[in-house]
Chain A
């Protein structure tokens, strides 16, 4: 429970004048002005599966909520509904991989990282099996409260040897990464934006293509370097546009692969003199991208001014997603304001 909610548990509330619904599970993160793609993961997986007959899909009662239903409908004989049993989901995916198949297993990020961790660690990662774990509701992408907010999943999986970890930004990343994940001969954990997913990166950089293991500069800028991952890259790009009016020139380095981290590119960018370096992630500031970048810089003796944007080390509130993003500093305005304050 959160301290704020606990302390006010017995305090009666009034019906607000402006009614804001708690964001449903299908809440779209699309910002104004971006085109969206419907269920990019499901469609990309179908395309990949047409080329690779070893691909199978599994879910633990969340196919519809992880966009895997697209695959299940298109290829019903290659889909396994494992029921509401995440330990089984991961064990069975490991077994299928042992028999030569290429399993994509989906659930929510909280259930994979918390409930099924031992099974991912021992049945999949220790054996270096090519199971692709694809998880919706990463970080703060639902207002349902800590039961569904996977704010520490990256920290959990970063500690696990053999794992490749991805935090895609948008539909472009998802569409680009699925064939590369299918071809990857090892375990992968990827966060999964689902439903109507915005197309952001190609808007800012028309020739952008996801590359597994690579960080890519989406936008150049001489005052600030934002090193970001997941949907925070979208927010950072929008904040960079907003800061143009203040004559603050913000570059954005998008890091969709959290592990193995593209330290060479991060160091190269951080060395480009005099810029404030800011990490931005939809994850607790403990053990995520920010700390991974900080250690990379420190070990190499690269010491620019450095700040981190991320979620606090706390169980978060329930409520409407825009309210929560504002509260925890993930909105475009809050990001822009923080950067301005640090300069």
Chain B
């Protein structure tokens, strides 16, 4: 593929990127387990503010987000639109509560704004939108959009000869959207080895189990059959999650990469975990503080 030669104006940016210390966040003394715990705690605090929220998903995906922002991704907290950053697209707008938590943990959003979550004039609306929030790359929520946009961004970054990756976090429900599969095929056509798709497989969509709807069969085999480098792992096993991110980044040249994470809704708060799990977990007003207490007891050392 003959890519367009990058404009000279970009040369300085790439030199800057290549000189920079690679992923300084990964070198922190704070363990990923503690990062994940902090993400869960912040998400619960935000849920308490509104008395509602997609807390089941946030607790389930916290480990993947911790590994994303404190192991895999390149970014500068003080400059969320830094050209050299790895792009992280949240296709699933309703997971915004989880992304706000990790953006605060990463220092991209100020923690003081936590209690504005979902309020009028907040920078953290209930569903994620690019125009509201630093670090929110796209407006998600209309499901099946993220991966197609990621394909376009990955094409654009190839044109610029950017060394960065595009990550797209999507849900198992989005495996039912035809547009997802258009993008799956396109990523192979254009050999987008700078694209890493993350699928949160918690087997819950609005009306029930994803595996009772369109997520039939072995999802990782489907992606592999299309030509993707595909992994499927326990998304709440941090060691496995980290290894999967490493394997994805180092996958064979020319191949787009997907990691399907089997996650447990409400992970980390046992009385919610054992509740009959649904897409929108109902939490009673007095249960938010109870959940925070339970989480506190499980704080990693």
Contact = CB atoms under 8 A, between A and B. Distances in A.
A122 B131 CA distance: 12
B173 to A, nearest CB: 16
Contacts of A326: none
B185 interface: yes
A93 B153 CA distance: 9
Contact of A119 (B137, B160, B179, B185): B179
Contacts of B178: 87
A99 B156 CA distance: 6
Interface in A75-103: 76-78, 80, 82-83, 85, 87-88, 90-101, 103
Interface in A103-157: 103, 118-119, 121-123, 126-127
A77 B2 contact: yes
A90 B179 CA distance: 11
Given A126-B139, A127-B130, A127-B131, A96 B152 contact: yes
A119 to B, nearest CB: 7
A115 B126 CA distance: 28
Contact of B179 (A76, A78, A82, A91): A91
B159 interface: yes
A63 B214 CA distance: 33
- Main SS class of interface, A: helix
Nearest to A78: B4
A96 B156 contact: yes
B130 A96 contact: no
B156 A88 contact: no
A95 B186 CA distance: 13
Contacts of A92: 148-149, 151-152, 155, 183, 186
Given A83-B189, A85-B186, A91 B148 contact: yes
A53 interface: yes
Nearest to B142: A122
Interface string B174-197: 000011001101100110000000
A80 B148 CA distance: 14
A186 B186 CA distance: 25
Given A85-B185, A88-B179, A94 B3 contact: no
B67 interface: no
In this complex, the member of B141, B144, B183, B186 whose beta carbon has the largest number of chain A beta carbons within 10 angstroms is B186
A221 to B, nearest CB: 47
A99 B138 contact: no
B189 A88 contact: no
User: In this complex, which of B137, B157, B182 has the most chain A Cβ atoms within 10 angstroms of its Cβ?
Assistant: B182
B149 A91 contact: yes
B145 A88 contact: no
B185 A83 contact: yes
A88 B142 contact: no
B242 interface: no
A99 B153 contact: yes
A121 B147 CA distance: 16
Contact of B149 (A78, A80, A95): A95
A38 B170 CA distance: 45
A122 B145 contact: yes
Contacts of A121: 142
Contact of A87 (B154, B156, B179): B179
Contacts of B186: 82-83, 85, 88, 92
Contacts of A80: 155, 190
Contacts of B156: 95-96, 98-101
B217 interface: no
Given A88-B182, A123-B148, A127-B139, A95 B154 contact: yes
A88 B131 contact: no
Contacts of B142: 118, 121-122
B151 A122 contact: no
Contacts of B160: 99-100
Contacts of B157: 99
A283 to B, nearest CB: 27
B4 A53 contact: yes
Nearest to A94: B149
A98 B139 CA distance: 12
Nearest to A100: B156
Given A92-B155, A98-B153, A123 B145 contact: yes
B124 to A, nearest CB: 18
Contacts of A101: 156, 159
B167 to A, nearest CB: 13
A87 B148 CA distance: 8
Contact of B3 (A53, A77, A83): A77
B5 to A, nearest CB: 9
A95 B131 contact: no
Nearest to A87: B179
A299 to B, nearest CB: 30
**Closest CB pairs A-B (n = 9):** A95-B152, A91-B148, A99-B156, A92-B152, A85-B182, A88-B182, A95-B153, A87-B179, A95-B149
24 contacts: A56-B159, A77-B4, A78-B4, A83-B182, A85-B186, A87-B178, A88-B186, A90-B148, A92-B151, A92-B186, A94-B149, A95-B152, A95-B155, A95-B156, A96-B152, A98-B137, A98-B138, A99-B155, A99-B156, A100-B156, A103-B152, A122-B145, A123-B145, A127-B131
Interface of A: 53, 56, 76-78, 80, 82-83, 85, 87-88, 90-101, 103, 118-119, 121-123, 126-127
Interface of B: 2-4, 7, 130-131, 137-139, 141-142, 144-145, 147-157, 159-160, 178-179, 182-183, 185-186, 189-190
